Amino acid sequence: MTQETKQKTQEDYMFTRKHVLEDNIANHRKFNIQKKNNQYICVIVGDTGVGKTGLSLMLERYIRQGEVNLDTVCLTHEDFMAEYTSKPKEKVIIYEEGRFSFDKNKYNHTEVAEARDKINQYRKFHHAIFVNFQNARHLTSEIVRNADAMIRIPEQGKAHYYSSESIQQMWRYGDFTGWVDYDARDFFPDPEVEIPDLWQRYEQQAEEELVSRDQDDDSEDDSSDLEDHFSAKEAASKLGLHRDTVKRYCKDKDGFKCRKVGEQDKVIVPESTVTEFLKDM
């Protein structure tokens, strides 16, 4: 966690040229908490490298008056669900890879289904959530319907702001129909210039997380060679379950361990897991 001098006011952390983003987000978030007892969701859309994460970090820095918690920057669906469903209240959560939970092309995947079911269950935690996404056409209806604002970054440093009303105009029957005129436009600085120390810490943490995940995957691949592998169909037959039930257990954090082998999804079923599962049936 990083923290700057507390003597500064929130206005001291404004960073855009016209302060459009800061004013709209602060006022809407405050209204949601005080009048609607609700969370605040902002979807940030833009191609890779245009500055979605940098903008999110600067917005968090503004909201929290100089304080940024890098622990609530989420790279995976599991990270996001853990932060979203937990206290303390009024966290600022930055979800870097929103496609893992809110991509309608993966509508039947467990992660998307879980996000769909829980996106409103914890709204009274009053979190401010910034969901970064690349292609607006792939957003699920749930995140579109619940979004309080959307920021499109057409190019580095340029932001187009859309209110919830404008967002609804761009979707019909769950499909994105195209960008309408933005409600406001603003410009934001390069995070390497505006927040150099924070940006360096963020990049270092993100790199360490990716390396750690790669090492965990390699370790699992090595150890799995010592275990029996079953396809979802074979595992279902062995356990007396439907194949879809096995697949759901593959996605559960405490369920079966799974990995992709070649072109098929193989299920790693440790003996202890099977024993415990059968015991609970």
Same domain flag for 29 and 88: yes
The answer to the question of residue 125 being in a domain is yes
Location of structure tokens 């459009």: 20
Last-in-domain residue among 160, 176, 209: 209
Contact 182, 158 (CB under 8 A): no
CATH assignment of the domain containing 241: 1.10.1660
The answer to the question of residue 189 being in a domain is yes
Same domain flag for 88 and 140: yes
Each residue's pLDDT tens digit in the chain (281 positions)?
555 545 788 899 999 999 999 999 999 999 999 999 999 999 999 998 899 999 999 999 999 999 999 999 998 899 999 999 999 999 999 999 899 999 998 866 889 989 988 988 899 999 999 999 999 999 999 999 999 999 999 999 999 999 999 999 999 988 999 999 999 999 999 999 999 999 999 998 888 877 776 565 555 555 444 445 566 666 666 676 666 666 666 665 455 655 544 334 445 555 566 556 656 55
* Total number of domains constituting the chain: 2
Same domain flag for 129 and 38: yes
E strand map for 112-211? 128-133, 149-155, 158-163, 171-172, 175-176, 184-187
- Residue 237 structural domain: 226-280
The answer to the question of residue 221 being in a domain is no
- How many Å apart are CA 5 and CA 79, to the nearest integer? 29
Same domain flag for 49 and 159: yes
Same domain flag for 241 and 188: no
Residue 20 burial (C-beta neighbours within 10 Å; 0-12, 13-18, 19+): middle
Condensed to tens digits (0 to 9), the pLDDT of residues 160-207 reads 999 999 999 999 988 999 999 999 999 999 999 999 999 999 998 888
- How many Å apart are CA 115 and CA 207, to the nearest integer? 26
The answer to the question of residue 218 being in a domain is no
Condensed to tens digits (0 to 9), the pLDDT of residues 99-113 reads 999 999 886 688 998
Same domain flag for 190 and 234: no
The answer to the question of residue 27 being in a domain is yes
Q: What is the pTM of this model?
A: 0.75
Last-in-domain residue among 147, 174, 209: 209
Contact 103, 112 (CB under 8 A): yes
The answer to the question of residue 219 being in a domain is no
The answer to the question of residue 3 being in a domain is no
Same domain flag for 87 and 27: yes
